[in-house]
Amino acid sequence: MTASGKFTVGTAWELLRSKAVKSDVFKNMWISGVPFKISFFFWRLWKYKIPVGEVVKRIGVDTEARFYCCDHRQYETVDHLFVTGNISKKVWTYVKTAIGITTQFQQVKQILQIWKWRNKVLHGGKMSINKVIYEINMIIYQMCRMRFLGQNNLPRCIPQILQVFEAYRPRIVSKMVKWEFPMPGWFKCNSVGASRVISSLQQQEGYQMAEARALHKGLKYCVTNSLLPMVMETDSMTMEMVLNGQWDTPWSMSMIINNISRLRRDKEVRVEHVLKEGNGLANYLTNYAFDFAGDHHFHSFASLPVKARKILNTENPHIPYMRIRTAKDHHIPGD
């Protein structure tokens, strides 16, 4: 069963399968967001299953595969290809000198470039050591460009890139956030605290769909119990724009958005955006319901959990919360 008490194939599989001891090596190898082909390549490399000369010969295939780009005419081995060979030594020396370290180390980007270079040469192509180093520099440059969008004056060599970022200081911005009372005679329905519930649903239906379901359920409760007029607050700027008609509705959410629109029809219901820090009580109660499966109803201050009462005592007198973030303009020195 899941935390909500529902049966899923995934939870049944977790109960039935025998689990091996978790390995830090594989944990760092199979990372969410890393393309499967890269993780699979490093898994094969770790298991000595990539088709280098020594591996192919060991399984009985007659091969004369040699490390042709090395001064020493040796059969290919994993260590020779990625660590001890002339080309690999030059690559690691360049990177270590640029970074300013003296200990032996290997990085994913350099290993992939050496493998790419080896395959090209093996199949009749040409790639010099300068080309390999150029490709590594370009990968680092492109990664920095993706992280710092709009920065067109970044240098394209690792030593110069490091000098730029050693002088980099992020710009910190702060904003005072506090809980706001609804207008006299109005009610407030808030889904800002749905983050932990949403995170467990992301793989199946996405963040915005889960947020829409939370808003629909809250709106339905308020309409059924005549808690009108009301303000629906959400920490999703996308949901605010969609429900207020400023953005088109994603086709995958059209049904739930139409249901929300029907409930809002001919009723005083406003949709507004709120930062999650602006409603700590709703955030805590949602996480509380997630931790303790089942329906929870609190109709008085005394019935709230102790921590919820402390949050309410802080929010009622409008004690502000300082929201501190790194600015998203990603300005770097020299731009």
CB 175 within 8 A of CB 323: yes
Closest CA to 188 of 155, 233, 154, 148: 233
CA angle 81, 84, 140 (to 5 degrees): 70
pLDDT higher than threshold 80 for residue 188? yes
CB contact at 8 A, 260 and 221: no
% residues pLDDT > 90 (the chain): 14
Mean pLDDT of all residues belonging to the chain:
78
Q: Is the dihedral of CA 203, 207, 213, 217 positive or negative?
A: positive
Q: How confident is the model over 256-276, as pLDDT tens digits?
A: 999 999 999 999 999 999 887
Please report how the helices 195-205 and 207-224 are oriented relative to each other, as an axis angle in degrees rounded to 10.
120
SS3 (DSSP) at 164: helix
Summarize pLDDT for 293-328 with one digit per residue, the tens. Answer: 677 888 888 999 999 898 888 877 777 888 888 776
The amino acid at 160: Q
pLDDT on residue 67: 52
Q: What pLDDT is stored for residue 206 in this prediction?
A: 67
Please indicate whether residue 327 or residue 215 has the higher confidence score (pLDDT).
Answer: 215
**Percent residues over pLDDT 70 in the chain:** 82
3-state secondary structure of 176: strand
| Cβ neighbour number for residue 203 with a 10 Å cutoff | 8
The model's pLDDT over 48-95, given as tens digits with 9 standing for 90+, comes to: 888 877 777 777 765 555 555 565 556 677 887 777 777 788 888 888
For residue range 103-148, list pLDDT tens digits in order.
Answer: 665 666 677 778 887 778 777 777 788 888 888 888 888 888 877 7
Q: What is the pLDDT of residue 286?
A: 76
| Cα distance between residue 261 and residue 310, in whole Å | 36
Query: Strands, E, within the chain: which ranges?
Result: 172-177, 187-190, 230-234, 269-273, 321-326
What domains are there in the chain, each with its CATH number? 10-166 (no CATH), 179-319 (3.30.420)
Strand 269-273 to 230-234 pairing: parallel
DSSP string, 185-250: T-EEEE-TT-HHHHHHHHHHH-HHHHHHHHHHHHHHHHHHTT--SEEEEES-HHHHHHHTTSSPPP
